Chain A
Amino acid sequence: MQHHLVSKQIYYRIFLALMVLTALTVGVAFLNLGPLNALVALVIAAGKATLVVLFFMHVRSSNRLIWLCVAAGIFWFLILLTFLLADYLSRGWLPVTGW
C-alpha cells in the first residue's frame, strides 16, 4: 500500500528541534523564575511531546479517528488530574473534623 512517506529531512529537523528544546529546558532550570520554573519546564516538555506525536508518530498525516484517540488520551488524563487535585487541594477549606 502507498504510505504517506515523510521526508527524512523532516525527521532530522524535528530531532534538531528536540535537542534545542532539551538544552533550553536544562538552561531555564538554572534560572530563578520562582513558580514559573515548573510551568516553563512543562510547556517545553509539552512542546517536545507535540513534535514527537505529530511528526515521529505521523499523527499529522493520520486520519481523524487517530486525532480523536490522541485528544481523548489528553482529555481523560486532564480529568484524572483535575478531579484528583480538586479533591486534595480543597481539603481543609471547610471545618470538618476528621479530614
Chain B
Amino acid sequence: MAHRRCTLTEHSSALAHHFDSLEQQYASANLGMWLFLLTEIMFFGGLFAGYTVYRTFYPDAFIAGSHHLDITLGGINTVVLLASSLTMALAVHAAQSGQRQQLVNFLLLTIVCGLLFLGIKAVEYSHKFADHLVPGKHFVFEGPLAGQVQLFFSFYFGMTGMHAVHMVIGIGLLGILTLQAWRGQLSPTYAAPVEMLGLYWHFVDIVWIFLFPLLYLLGRH
C-alpha cells in the first residue's frame, strides 16, 4: 500500500499525502483524539480518586462544605453545558452534511453556552470569595470541621477550576473553527476538526456530569 499513488480523481485537498484514503485519515484522527482523551481520563481521574479518598475519610465535612454550594446555579450550569453538547453535536452534523451556515450558527451557539457557563461559574466563585470559603489565609469556617471543610473547598476549586480551564481552551478552539467554517474551509470531506473538537467538548461535559452530583448534591436531605 505504501507505494500506491493517488490518482487525480481520488486525491483531494483534504487528504494528507501520507494517508491512503479519507477513511484511513479519519480513523487515524479519531484514534489519536481518543488516545488523548485517555490521558485526560487519567488526569481528571487523579483528582476524582483524591476526592474519593478524602470524602471517605471526612464524610461530614464534605457534606458541610457541599451545603455552601449553590445548587440552583450549579443545576442551571449543568443544563447550559448539556445544551452546549447538543449544539456541538448538531454542529458536527452540519459539518458532515455540508451545511455551512448551520455549522457556523451551531458553533457560535456552543461558544455562547460555554461563555454562559463560565459566567455563572465566575458568579459562584465571587460568592465563595465574599463568604471567605476560598482555601488559604482568609478561609473562615465556624466549628471543629474547619480544616476538613477547607479540604473540600480545595477539591471544589481544584476540580471545577481545571474543568473551567478545559472550557476556556475549548472555547478558544471553537472560535478558530467558527472562523474556518465561515471562510468555507470545512467540508463534508474535511469535517474532522469539528468532529475531534466535538469529542473534546463532550468529554469536558462528562467531567461536569460527575462533578455536579459529587460536589453539589451531598447530604441534601
Contacts and interface: CB of A to CB of B under 8 A. Distances in A.
Contacts of B7: none
A94 interface: no
Interface of B: 21-23, 26-27, 30-31, 34-35, 37-38, 41-42, 45-46, 48-49, 52-53, 56-57, 71, 75, 78-79, 82-83, 85-86, 88-90, 93, 96-97, 188-189, 191, 195, 198-199, 202-203, 205-206, 209-210, 212-214, 217-221
Contacts of A96: none
A76 B79 contact: no
A15 B86 contact: yes
Given A19-B82, A25-B212, 19 more contacts: A1-B188, A8-B90, A11-B86, A11-B93, A15-B83, A18-B85, A26-B217, A29-B217, A30-B220, A42-B213, A44-B213, A56-B86, A57-B199, A57-B202, A65-B27, A73-B38, A77-B45, A80-B49, A81-B49
Nearest to B39: A73
B209 A56 contact: no
B26 to A, nearest CB: 6
A52 B93 contact: no
A69 to B, nearest CB: 4
Interface string A23-58: 001100111110001100110110011001101111
Nearest to A22: B78
User: Which residue of A6, A38, A56, A58 has the most chain B CB atoms within 10 A of its CB atom?
Assistant: A56
B71 A26 contact: yes
15 contacts: A15-B86, A25-B217, A26-B75, A26-B217, A29-B221, A41-B213, A45-B214, A52-B205, A56-B85, A65-B31, A76-B38, A76-B41, A80-B49, A85-B53, A88-B57
Nearest to B82: A18
Given A6-B93, A25-B213, A57-B202, A69 B35 contact: yes
Contact of A41 (B79, B188, B217, B221): B217
A66 B52 contact: no
B209 A49 contact: yes
Contact of A76 (B42, B52, B86): B42
B218 to A, nearest CB: 8
B12 to A, nearest CB: 9
Contacts of A29: 213, 217, 220-221
A85 B53 CA distance: 7
A44 B214 CA distance: 12
B152 to A, nearest CB: 15
